[in-house]
Chains A and B, each alone.
Chain A
Amino acid sequence: MKIAVCIKAVPETDTRIRIAADGRSIDRTDVKFIISPYDEFALEEAVRLKEAKGGQVIALSLGGDEVPNLLREALARGADEAVHIAAAGIAIDDPLCVGKTLAAALKGLTPDIVFFGKHGVGGDNQQVHAIVAEKLGWPQVTVVTKLEVGDGRLRAEREIEGGVEVVETGLPAVVGAQKGLNEPRYPKLQSIMQAKKKPLATKTFADFGLTAAEVGPEGAGLAVTALRLPPPRQAGRRIAGDPGQQAAELLSALQNEVKVI
């Protein structure tokens, strides 16, 4: 099987966000980038599928200078080759432009299945995998917590409110991985050494036959006009007393001040 996995470089989840001077983006000074946590489940599932069925795993990532190191990490975790799609000229915060670029890159690779994390942590759009599926004309299954891939078909369980939907579809298909799908492995030292020898190509959007009008700022669906931090919350009051008194006073506040009970 030819298996593709798309990963995104995102700020570490405990990063304290600061707003950049342009007022529309985050200050990237001293920000450490990691593979978006949900993409780790996507990568692990891709590698497990290869181990079960044979084939190869190709990892793709669209972004700037922070990407090559993370693609090396993906190679160490079991991907066979990697493609870095350079961010230059692409509206990389716009889901539509990112989706179109990845769809064009994937079309040339003709994979049987494409994995994404259910969403890229940070942008929190939860859109790109669905856009890619649409642009390729393939079925999608998002927020997947269990996956079985058979002969030309898949069966997936996806999380919905208060339950699980069981979805069946043919291949090729796009799968969005949710936490719980698997337990990602840590790369062994030997795998890290081997990863250095695996192929890592760098491409631009033009290599996929795309134009700046399609995937650059003028092709964007959205424009972020401002970014701000939330107003800081103030600490309220402490409730003292023995546990019974504390419970009683809190309950009274919930009734009279919060008015939810």
Chain B
Amino acid sequence: MANGVLVFAEQRDGAFKKATYEALSEGHRLAEKLGQPLSAVIIGSGIRHLANEAAHYGATTVYVADVAPLAKYSTDGYVKALTEAIQAAQPSVVLAAATAMGKDLAPRAAARLDIGLASDVVETHIENGALTVTRPVYAGKAFATVAFQRSPAFATLRPNVFPAASPDASRTAEVKPIGATIVDALQARVTDILAAAKGKIELTEASIIVSGGRGIKGPENYYLIQNLADALGGAAGASRAVVDAGWVDHSRQVGQTGKTVSPTLYIACGISGAIQHLAGMSSSKFIVAINKDPEAPIFKIADYGIVGDLFEVVPKLTEQVSAMRQN
């Protein structure tokens, strides 16, 4: 009989990611609603110390695959460890964060178990003891309610959506080692990780995003967007027009063919608000639009609208934010 919620607790470089705390916290809330236990699985090498932290977020059993071949991420090595944990825990629900790793790992693990996976979930519901979820489709132009036809129910959770709970350091968990059969013969291996500029915040993880559109007029002006993002401690994004023009890298594109984001604050500078762009950011909690065209569609969805020249308003804003931060 299936029992409990199992969370894949993603770590990189020996630390949990922000999205991991969110997944553990949501897993704990679901486990409480179901009246079932929470367990976690941690995969890597030299990561045993993280088991305590998973316990602080409510896991009562922590499966730990701490073996040298898993020091760097590999799809098949991690799938083996994750499916071993699922088979050991026999959960009714499995959760992972919809991160780069989660999106690579989860569908393959689900396929191995021949079960369905709901991607990028933004809401969970328990009805009659069963999980249903809501997930955006068409980059957020519509939302689908999804039921699971097979057990366990498996979902990846969109980062920045589910709140992280406060850890309780008095909680403890039973630690169960797994992964002993994983030997060094993995199909695909990560041979190197090329880090982006240090301190750069990933769009999908940022709670504040400042984006620039065609209104910035050229790549030489993108620093205005970056400076404001830096002053606010956020990430810098862009519209498709700016990416397609080659002004900034595609990894910064927000919209239907870029990233779908839901930060607390989204500041759109010189972005008119094409439906393609709105799809990717309209689930942001607060939206600010700065645009010189008072008729720009972006104003229809903005909580705060500034009709003005971004070349004047954005530097003023950066200056005032920086001044405030210094006090």
Stretch in A54-62, A75-83, A156-164, A187-195 touching the partner: A156-164
Q: Is the pair B304, A253 in contact by a Cβ cutoff of 8 Å?
A: yes
Looking at B79, B116, B208, which has the most chain A CB atoms within 10 Å of its CB? B116
Stretch in A106-114, A200-208, A242-250 touching the partner: A242-250
Please give, as numbers and ranges, the residues of chain A lying within 8 Å of B243 by CB-CB distance. Answer: 179
Q: Is the pair A164, B193 in contact by a Cβ cutoff of 8 Å?
A: yes
Looking at B103, B118, B258, which has the most chain A CB atoms within 10 Å of its CB? B103
Q: Is the pair B191, A168 in contact by a Cβ cutoff of 8 Å?
A: yes
Q: Is the pair A247, B317 in contact by a Cβ cutoff of 8 Å?
A: yes
Q: Is the pair B108, A134 in contact by a Cβ cutoff of 8 Å?
A: yes
Is B73's CB within 8 Å of the partner chain A? yes
Q: Is the pair B100, A37 in contact by a Cβ cutoff of 8 Å?
A: no
Distance A221 CA – B117 CA, assembled complex (angstroms): 7
Known contacts A161-B204, A163-B194; A222/B118 CB under 8 A: yes
Q: Is the pair A243, B309 in contact by a Cβ cutoff of 8 Å?
A: yes
Please give, as numbers and ranges, the residues of chain B lying within 8 Å of A122 by CB-CB distance. Answer: 137-138
Q: Is the pair A96, B188 in contact by a Cβ cutoff of 8 Å?
A: no
Please give, as numbers and ranges, the residues of chain B lying within 8 Å of A133 by CB-CB distance. Answer: 108
CB nearest neighbor in A for B310:
A243
Q: Is the pair B287, A233 in contact by a Cβ cutoff of 8 Å?
A: yes
Q: Is the pair B142, A229 in contact by a Cβ cutoff of 8 Å?
A: yes
Known contacts A126-B119, A230-B283; A131/B107 CB under 8 A: yes
Is A88's CB within 8 Å of the partner chain B? no
Q: Is the pair A121, B139 in contact by a Cβ cutoff of 8 Å?
A: yes
Q: Which of A165, A253, A261 touches B324 (beta carbons < 8 Å)?
A: A261
Is A21's CB within 8 Å of the partner chain B? no
Please give, as numbers and ranges, the residues of chain B lying within 8 Å of A225 by CB-CB distance. Answer: 132, 145-147
Q: Is the pair B312, A38 in contact by a Cβ cutoff of 8 Å?
A: no
CB nearest neighbor in A for B137:
A124
Q: Is the pair B264, A161 in contact by a Cβ cutoff of 8 Å?
A: no
Mark A54-73 against chain B: 1 for CB-CB distance below 8 A, else 0. 00000000000000000000
Please give, as numbers and ranges, the residues of chain A lying within 8 Å of B241 by CB-CB distance. Answer: none
Is B320's CB within 8 Å of the partner chain A? yes
Known contacts A157-B194, A225-B146, A247-B317; A127/B117 CB under 8 A: yes
Q: Is the pair B316, A124 in contact by a Cβ cutoff of 8 Å?
A: no
Q: Is the pair A228, B253 in contact by a Cβ cutoff of 8 Å?
A: no
Q: Which of B108, B142, B287 touches A228 (beta carbons < 8 Å)?
A: B142
Distance A95 CA – B301 CA, assembled complex (angstroms): 33
Is B302's CB within 8 Å of the partner chain A? yes
Instruction: Tell me whether chain A's interface is mostly helix, strand or loop, or mixed.
Output: mixed
Q: Is the pair A166, B190 in contact by a Cβ cutoff of 8 Å?
A: yes
Contact residues of B between 250 and 283, Cβ < 8 Å to A: 250-251, 253, 256-258, 260, 264-265, 274-276, 279, 282-283
Q: Which of A15, A160, A247 touches B101 (beta carbons < 8 Å)?
A: A160
Contact residues of A between 70 and 102, Cβ < 8 Å to B: 94-96, 99
Known contacts A131-B108, A221-B149; A163/B188 CB under 8 A: no
Q: Which of B250, B256, B283, B306 touches A121 (beta carbons < 8 Å)?
A: B256
Q: Is the pair B274, A14 in contact by a Cβ cutoff of 8 Å?
A: yes
Distance A130 CA – B317 CA, assembled complex (angstroms): 44
Q: Is the pair A167, B308 in contact by a Cβ cutoff of 8 Å?
A: no
Please give, as numbers and ranges, the residues of chain A lying within 8 Å of B149 by CB-CB distance. Answer: 220-223
Residue ranges of B at the interface with A (Cβ–Cβ < 8 Å): 17, 73, 75-76, 79, 99-101, 103-104, 106-108, 110-112, 114-120, 132, 135-150, 187-196, 200-202, 204-205, 207-208, 232, 243, 249-251, 253, 256-258, 260, 264-265, 274-276, 279, 282-283, 285-288, 299-309, 312-313, 316-317, 319-321, 324
Can you offer 27 A-B residue contacts whose CB atoms are under 8 A? A13-B257, A17-B138, A38-B257, A122-B137, A127-B117, A127-B119, A160-B193, A162-B196, A166-B192, A167-B189, A179-B250, A180-B249, A220-B149, A221-B110, A221-B114, A221-B117, A222-B146, A225-B132, A235-B299, A235-B301, A237-B303, A239-B304, A243-B308, A250-B317, A251-B317, A253-B304, A260-B286
Additional A-B contacts beyond A13-B256, A237-B303 (20; CB < 8 A) = A126-B103, A131-B108, A134-B79, A139-B187, A140-B108, A158-B100, A165-B192, A167-B191, A220-B116, A222-B117, A222-B149, A233-B287, A233-B300, A236-B305, A247-B313, A247-B317, A250-B317, A251-B317, A260-B264, A260-B286
